[in-house]
Amino acid sequence: MNYQFTLPDFPDSTFEMQTSVWTGRSKLFQDGILVSRANENGRPFLITAASGDTVKAYPKPRYMDVVPVLEIDGIQYDVVEKLTWFQYVICCVPLLLIFFGGALGGGLGAVASSINLQIIRTGGSATGNYLKVLGITLAAFAFYFLVAYIIWGV
C-alpha cells in the first residue's frame, strides 16, 4: 500500500511510504525520489533536507498495525492516522476463524484481516470502506466453510 504524508521538519516536501504486508519491508519516497537507507542498525532512511543536511528517519513498528511510524531525533511521526479500537475490531473479525478451523481458518482469517486493515485506510467514503470490509469478512467465512465442506464433508 502507498501512503502519502508530510513531515513538519520538511514543509516543502511530500513523502510517500510503500509498505508490504507480506514482507514487512518499506520504501520511502521524497518528492517522488526513492530515499536511500543506511546499512547501520535499524536501517534508517536518509532524508535530505533543503539545506543539504541528511536526517536519519528510523521506521518503527506500531503495535497492531502494518504501517510503521518514522522516528526522527527521538520523535515519532505517524505515516497514517491511527485506527480507532472499533475499526480494529471490525477489521479483525475474520481472525475468529482460528477457533473454527485451526491453521486453515487462522491463515485465511489473517489474510482477510490484513486486507481489511488496508481497505479501511483507503480513500473514498467511510460507508463504502465498511461495506468492503464486511464483504471481505463474509467472503472469508463463506470460503472457509466451503473448503471445510469439500475436504471434511462437515
Residues 106 and 124 grouped into a single domain: yes
How much is the pLDDT for 154? Answer: 59
Taking only the tens place, the pLDDT of each residue in 132-149 is 999 999 999 999 999 988
Residue 96: what pLDDT? Answer: 94
Whether residue 141 is found in the same domain as residue 89 = yes
Q: Which grid cell sits at 16?
A: 510517500
Give the end of a domain, one of 53, 77, 101: 77
Which pLDDT score is estimated for 21?
66
7 & 69 share domain? yes
Query: What pLDDT sits at residue 8?
Result: 87
Give pLDDT, residue 19: 81
Pick the residue with more confidence: 109 or 20?
A: 109
**What integer is the mean pLDDT of 84-97?**
93
Does 9 lie in the same domain as 73? yes
Q: Which of 77, 109, 133 is the last residue of a domain?
A: 77
Domain limits for position 92? 85-152
Query: Residue 55 forms beta bridges with which residues?
Result: 47
Helix 126-152 and helix 97-120, axial crossing angle in degrees, nearest 10: 150
User: Does 92 lie in the same domain as 70?
Assistant: no
Same domain, yes or no: 98 and 46? no
Q: Count of domains in the chain?
A: 2
Verify that 114 and 90 share a domain, yes or no. Answer: yes
- Residue 96 and residue 117 in contact, taking contact as beta carbons nearer than 8 Å: no
Q: Which of 41, 58, 77 is the last residue of a domain?
A: 77
**Overall pTM > 0.75:** no
